[in-house]
């Protein structure tokens, strides 16, 4: 495969060919928009091939927690990334999750807040029944349930990039401190699944503002934050490819058990 620079500011870029579906994997060891040593992984999928070569799906449990790799392996996935926020104590998502017209999660940190009330849980990743993948401002659970246009809905946040412009972020440590981050983004032609490791000397993590700047330089049009911290995990080719932080070691063995993930499945 011919290597492609997806970001001119990247200091170290290692493109890898990993699947017959021509999915591209980028490993970044440093980037000038994020201070400190980094360990960043990006999976890039051509949206024109969505449906023909691969499809996106969800896996979840509403009661027990399972590692991203176990979710992925049990669903014979090509790749997978951790999903939305969840309850470590009780299991299950704590933001709205809908699958084929049924509400998977009915517990929420967000609830159906008035439009004028600001929240970090303000974004939704949606796969429409016509196959369109989109990232949008969150709507109420009632509106999603009353609509028959979506195959599934995963909510999280905050919204990071919308129509190529950085979204307004709330003040607070969740925004300003460096943490491991997971996000999903759309460019003109591609879907990007991104993890930024943190809590290691070798990988400092990113603030949400740094993450926004990074995404802008990747020419992202829309992007949203997913659950990060110890949950940040990217899986492909039957192994975890980033360095989750829960075991406090810079290796791929520190997975946290989670409640839901985003799957990439083969259609051939």
Distances (CA, A) of 143 to 80, 112, 125, 149: 28, 10, 15, 11
Domain assignment of residue 26, yes or no: no
Distance, in Å, from the CA atom of 197 to the CA atom of 139, rounded to the nearest integer, reads: 30
What's the total number of domains in the chain? Answer: 1
Does any domain span residue 3? no
| Residue 59 belongs to domain spanning | 47-266
Residue 206 belongs to some domain of the structure: yes
pLDDT score of 30: 85
| pLDDT at residue number 38 | 96
247: helix, strand or coil: coil
Position 165 scores a pLDDT of: 98
CA 37/CA 234 separation, integer angstroms: 19
Name every residue whose Cβ is closer than 8 Å to that of residue 41 and which is 6 or more positions away in sequence: 25, 26, 27, 28, 194, 195, 234, 241, 242
pLDDT (tens digit, 0 to 9) for every residue of the chain, 268 residues total?
A: 233 334 433 434 445 544 555 689 999 988 889 999 999 999 999 999 999 999 999 999 988 999 999 999 999 999 999 999 999 988 999 999 999 999 988 666 554 454 556 789 999 999 999 999 999 999 988 899 999 999 999 999 999 999 999 999 999 999 999 999 999 999 999 999 999 999 999 999 999 999 999 999 999 999 999 999 999 999 998 999 999 999 999 999 999 999 999 999 999 8
- Asked whether residue 28 is domain-assigned, the answer is no
Distances in Å between the Cα of 235 and the Cα atoms of 62, 110, 143, 165 are 21, 28, 33, 29
Strand partners of residue 222: 186
pLDDT of res. 1: 28
In a domain, 33, yes or no: no
């Amino acid at each position: 495969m011919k290597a492609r620079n997806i970001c001119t500011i990247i200091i170290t870029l290692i493109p890898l060919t990993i699947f017959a579906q021509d999915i591209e994997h980028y490993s970044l060891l440093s980037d000038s928009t994020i201070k400190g040593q980094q360990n960043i992984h990006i999976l890039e999928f051509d949206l024109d091939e969505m449906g023909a070569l691969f499809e996106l799906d969800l896996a979840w449990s509403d009661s027990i927690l399972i590692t991203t790799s176990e979710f992925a392996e049990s669903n014979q996935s090509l790749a997978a990334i951790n999903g939305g926020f969840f309850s470590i104590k009780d299991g299950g998502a704590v933001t709205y999750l809908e699958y084929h017209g049924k509400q998977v999660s009915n517990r929420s940190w967000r609830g159906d807040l008035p439009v004028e009330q600001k929240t970090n849980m303000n974004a939704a990743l949606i796969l429409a029944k016509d196959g369109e993948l989109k990232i949008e401002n969150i709507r109420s659970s009632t509106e999603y349930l009353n609509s028959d246009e979506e195959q599934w809905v995963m909510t999280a946040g905050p919204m990071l990039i919308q129509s190529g412009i950085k979204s307004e972020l709330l003040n607070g440590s969740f925004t300003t401190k460096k943490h491991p981050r997971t996000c999903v983004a759309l460019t003109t032609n591609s879907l990007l699944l991104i993890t930024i490791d943190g809590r290691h000397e070798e990988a400092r993590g990113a603030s949400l503002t740094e993450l926004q700047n990074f995404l802008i330089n990747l020419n992202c049009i829309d992007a949203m934050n997913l659950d990060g911290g110890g949950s940040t995990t990217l899986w492909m080719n039957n192994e975890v490819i980033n360095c989750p932080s829960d075991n406090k070691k810079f290796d791929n063995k520190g997975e946290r058990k989670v409640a839901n993930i985003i799957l990439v499945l083969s259609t051939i």
